């Protein structure tokens, strides 16, 4: 590990990071894929963290905000953050107090119902779909009941 190879690793890391955001673990892995030596990749990640150009907590907050706008629940966001290499302490800190977008939840349900009277199979498919999107069973039941009440009032 020479000073020259460290400098090149930092430059490459900054270049990779300019394309899209990464977690520390994600950037390290990407650098290894690009052929950077392990020690140099670790140095580059640490150097970018020192320069405040790489921050797992900010990355997690951004991904959480993005996931919420896509209509994801906390479970799906947690899964995605783990896949990206963010540690569990950071994930739980970011998801503390997370509230799903109720309007997107209800819109998903109304779209799947398509204005028809819901039957048991349709409700099961909807709840399964919401569960895959990371919502808890309590959130799903609450949203479905709210939509059914709206549907009955019409």
Blockwise average pLDDT, block size 10, the chain, 154 residues:
87 92 94 93 94 93 93 94 94 91 86 81 91 92 85 67
Give residue 84's Cα distance to chain centre: 8
pLDDT at 149: 82
Looking up tokens 């990407």, which residue turns up?
30
Phi, psi of 116 (to 5 degrees): -95, 160
pLDDT at 77: 96
Q: pTM to 2 decimals?
A: 0.83
91: its two tokens: 């994930």
pLDDT at 153: 65
What is the helix (H) or strand (E) element at residue 31, kind and residue range? helix 24-33
pLDDT at 100: 85
pLDDT at 105: 86
The whole-angstrom separation of Cα 69 and Cα 63 is 10
């Amino acid at each position: 590990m020479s000073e020259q190879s460290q400098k090149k690793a930092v430059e490459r890391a900054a270049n990779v990071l300019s394309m899209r955001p990464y977690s520390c673990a994600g950037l390290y892995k990407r650098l290894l894929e690009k052929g950077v030596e392990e020690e140099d990749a670790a140095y580059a990640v640490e150097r970018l963290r020192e320069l405040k150009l790489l921050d797992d907590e900010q990355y997690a907050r951004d991904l959480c905000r993005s996931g919420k706008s896509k209509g994801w629940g906390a479970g799906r966001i947690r899964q995605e953050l783990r896949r990206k290499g963010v540690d569990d302490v950071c994930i739980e800190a970011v998801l503390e107090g997370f509230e799903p977008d109720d309007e997107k939840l209800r819109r998903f349900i109304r779209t799947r119902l398509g204005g028809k009277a819901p039957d048991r199979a349709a409700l099961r498919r909807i709840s399964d779909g919401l569960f895959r999107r990371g919502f808890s069973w309590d959130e799903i039941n609450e949203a479905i009941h709210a939509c059914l009440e709206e549907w009955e009032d019409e």
